[in-house]
Homo-oligomer: A and B are copies of this chain.
Amino acid sequence: VNWMDLTWQQIAALPDDTVAVLPLGAVEQHGPHLPVSTDFVIATEIAAAAVAAVPSDVPCVLLPGLCYTKSDEHHAFPGSIWLSWDTLMATLVDIGRSLQTSGISRLLFVNGHGGNSALGQVACREIRRRFGLRTFFTHPGVPVDQGGSGSAASELGMGVHGGHGETSLMLHLRPDLVHMELAVARVPEVLTEFRHIGFGKRTSFGWTSDDFGPDGHVGDPTGATAEFGKAFVEGAVPALAEVIGEAHRFRTQ
């Protein structure tokens, strides 16, 4: 069920433990081979499929996805349209406040863009404290630099943006928008010199995508396949449906 399709009276009639699912994407450069919509497509497609797959005794509703988010790490490239940290935070807080006054008490972010993860968690706490909503933050798949899979071996664990995983997903979801003829490997091998600092390591670092070169992506999309993307989606959708179920019944005492 889509929030956007309902009247205000239908929304008022939703059970108050309904889980509102909010996909977060991005409008940002994804290298020469992928469209700027990549993260948004992935988040909204998987979220919509998961909402459809949830058992009927779990009330949930799909909010319209938010595509303009925090892509400041890609500021140096044309095509990236990004909100500053305080604008995105204000947006998420405003949405949380509106849900409260709409009688909704559970909010799950489904985030397709790794650059939103940190601020999203700040927002989850703020919305919980100020408006009392139970808030949850998840990804269609766990980002590579946050411990997720989806990498090609050639990526050395650094396929964080426009690499094997995302390219495969787009080959499955929107093959018309993928330019495999322009796909090249861009893995910052120099990072292997560092034991402690790096993607997914003990010490994180503040980076922008132009730190790694002029192409914009970080990873190796050359071996991406629609099959891998399809398998990823087929795993992610039921897993996300389970997350929604847990969000519905979640309690801490």
Contacts and interface: CB of A to CB of B under 8 A. Distances in A.
Contact of A102 (B11, B81, B129, B250): B81
A223 B172 CA distance: 46
B250 A197 contact: yes
Contact of A135 (B78, B137, B205): B205
- Give the most central of A12, A73, A118, A251: most B CB within 10 Å: A118
Contacts of A68: 64, 66, 91, 94-95
Given A102-B80, A211-B253, A122 B85 contact: yes
Interface in A203-253: 203-208, 211-213, 216, 239, 242-243, 246-247, 250-253
B4 A40 contact: yes
A52 interface: no
A151 B246 CA distance: 25
Given A188-B252, A195-B242, A79 B8 contact: yes
Chain A interface SS verdict (over half) = mixed
A253 B206 contact: no
Interface string A117-159: 1110111111111000111111100100001000000000000
B63 A34 contact: no
Contacts of A242: 195-196
Interface in A2-21: 3-12
Interface in A90-113: 90-91, 94-95, 98-99, 101-103, 108
18 contacts: A4-B35, A7-B31, A7-B36, A7-B79, A8-B30, A8-B79, A9-B32, A9-B78, A37-B64, A68-B95, A72-B126, A72-B129, A86-B90, A91-B91, A117-B118, A128-B207, A137-B204, A205-B250
Given A134-B205, A211-B252, 18 more contacts: A4-B36, A4-B40, A8-B29, A40-B64, A72-B126, A84-B94, A85-B89, A86-B90, A118-B121, A119-B122, A124-B204, A127-B206, A136-B206, A138-B196, A191-B252, A194-B246, A196-B243, A212-B252
